[in-house]
Amino acid sequence: MSVHAGTIITVGGNNVIDRIQSAGLGNVAVPVDAIREVGNELVVDKVQGDPDFTFTLNSLDVSTELMAWLTGKVGSSISDPTAFPGAADAAGTEYKWEDCTYVNVASPWKDPNTGSTGTVVAGHLIPGYYPTSITYRFGVTDNATQEVALAGGAFYYAASPPVEEFAAGDGTTAAFVTSEGTVKYRKGGAGGTTFRNVFGVIVGGVLMSEGTDYTVTGGDGSPATITFATPPATDAVIRFAYFTTVSKAFPQAVHASTIVKPGAVRGRNIEVWLGTGGARKKLGQVQSVELTATIDGVAEREMGNDELVGRTINGRDTTGTITIRSKDAPHFIDLLTQVTGVANTEVYGWLNLNTAPLEIVIEDPKNPGTAIKTLYVSDAQFQTPGTPAQVNTPTDFAITFQSVNGTFSEFRGAKP
């Protein structure tokens, strides 16, 4: 027997994230400093450093659920696959990359011996992580994928179910109680004498610091009380996570029906458009598209705290590549006209400062006239491609682009 991927789910924003192909922490090796002293050839001690971990999630899901979650939306039920983050949002709702916020990830593990009605026997908690990149990959004969990377400074395991709870601020209430008993974490390891019961406390998208922004009392088998120094503002979404002492059933909403969302979407249901209005034109002969948005940030710490207290954002960027297989030279020249704005009676050079709105429309395979979502870059600036000719091989032109302002948006359905 082994811990099989089929017994592990990933929960974010009160929602079982669907169509996951891989999910987990990458290199978790903590840097270690060897401490020495004059007059001693031996190492006196080894002190662990301050890590910055990365959690990566790759999914075939092409809905807006992931971006809705990353921008602060919360689902209404973990057991209902139709109650995902942003489920109540109207068609045309925009989710902006610059609006991403801190999130918690809970990963319950099922007892493989309990069958389809399994119970959670252990779990993984990844609290207070911030999105650092998202990548979309589309190929002419490939399944569409999206990959999210989150960064944070801690993670925890326990032989208990991990849960995340939510509350809403009213501007007056300062104390919030977990609905179930919590399992304690011994700070510093086996020799520690102080404990934590609640992790990943986030208010209005801002990561809170225990001891400064809030205190925790109770817990350790009983419900814990989180008391904020300042009552959270009205309608502020309050998030907190912990390991519960209450037995939990393994959620059965892992694979939402394909009636609700496709199992996967292939290139035949993805279109790429440039321009606006009557200048707006569909790009032909597209072989693949990749769009990557990143955040350049610095992990922030404070004395007296072994976890991150935040992340300073230095900047954002959005880049990508569209690979075109033109039918012939006239079609290639027409492509250059589209991306550079230069008339086909003129000469095209390496320098292109023209910008054009870029839309990537993902359609419902069962109803291709209906858009599931649209990726939008308002100011895509393309670089003139080279000519990668090879014998007995069709010539594919890889055209790279960047967003001048460094960001992009997702729209639920078609862009208004």
What are the tens digits of pLDDT across the range 360-376? Answer: 999 999 999 899 999 99
- The whole-chain average pLDDT of the chain stands at 92
Q: Is the pLDDT of residue 113 over 80?
A: no
Q: Is the pLDDT of residue 110 over 70?
A: yes
CA distances from 55 to 17, 328, 341 (A): 14, 44, 41
Residue where a domain terminates, one of 217, 246, 275: 246
Residues 284 and 355 in one domain: yes
- Cα separation, 348 vs 297, whole angstroms: 37
Residue where a domain terminates, one of 188, 213, 246: 246
For the record, the structure tokens of 412 come out as 């639920």
- Cα separation, 303 vs 260, whole angstroms: 48
187, 194 in Cβ contact below 8 A?
yes
Q: Does residue 386 form part of some domain?
A: yes
Q: Is the pLDDT of residue 1 over 70?
A: no
Residues 283 and 404 in one domain: yes
Q: Does residue 252 form part of some domain?
A: no
Residues 192 and 223 in one domain: yes
The whole-number pLDDT of residue 305 equals 85
Residues 378 and 332 in one domain: yes
Percentages of the chain per state (helix, strand, coil), in multiples of 5: 10, 45, 45
In eight-state DSSP terms, residue 381 is E
Residues 275 and 398 in one domain: yes
The whole-number pLDDT of residue 115 equals 63
109, 123 in Cβ contact below 8 A?
yes
Q: Does residue 56 form part of some domain?
A: no
286, 322 in Cβ contact below 8 A?
yes
Residues 408 and 295 in one domain: yes
Residue 199 is part of which domain span? 172-246
Residue type for position 241 = A
Q: Which residue has the higher pLDDT, 113 or 301?
A: 301
Residues 235 and 277 in one domain: no
Partner residues linked to 324 by β-bridges: 286, 397
* Vertex 205 angle, CA 204 and 209, to 5°: 95
138 burial class (0-12, 13-18, 19+ CB within 10 angstroms)? buried
The arithmetic mean of pLDDT across residues 294-316, rounded, is: 90
In eight-state DSSP terms, residue 229 is S
Q: How many CB atoms lie within 10 A of CB 395?
A: 13
Q: Is the pLDDT of residue 132 over 70?
A: yes
Torsion 376-377-379-381 (CA) sign: negative
313, 326 in Cβ contact below 8 A?
no
Ordered alpha helix ranges (H), 210-297? none
In the chain, what is the straight-line distance between the N-terminal and C-terminal CA atoms, in Å? 51
Residues 241 and 277 in one domain: no
Q: How many domains does the chain have?
A: 2
The arithmetic mean of pLDDT across residues 269-278, rounded, is: 89
In eight-state DSSP terms, residue 337 is H
Q: pLDDT tens digits for 218-263? A: 999 999 999 999 999 999 999 999 999 999 888 765 656 665 678 8
Residues 294 and 388 in one domain: yes
Which CATH number belongs to the domain containing residue 315 in this structure?
Answer: 2.40.30
Q: pLDDT tens digits for 48-87? A: 888 889 999 999 999 999 999 999 999 988 877 788 899 9
Q: Does residue 393 form part of some domain?
A: yes
**DSSP H or E run through 286:** strand 286-300
Closest CA to 196 of 188, 185, 207, 181: 185
Residues 328 and 403 in one domain: yes
Q: Does residue 185 form part of some domain?
A: yes
Residue where a domain terminates, one of 197, 214, 246: 246
Residues 240 and 352 in one domain: no
What are residue 5's phi and psi, to 5 degrees?
-60, -25
Q: Does residue 390 form part of some domain?
A: yes
For the record, the structure tokens of 271 come out as 């279109």
Ordered alpha helix ranges (H), 1-54? none
* Vertex 377 angle, CA 293 and 139, to 5°: 70
Q: Does residue 126 form part of some domain?
A: no
**DSSP H or E run through 379:** strand 367-382
Residues 222 and 326 in one domain: no
- Cα separation, 164 vs 241, whole angstroms: 4
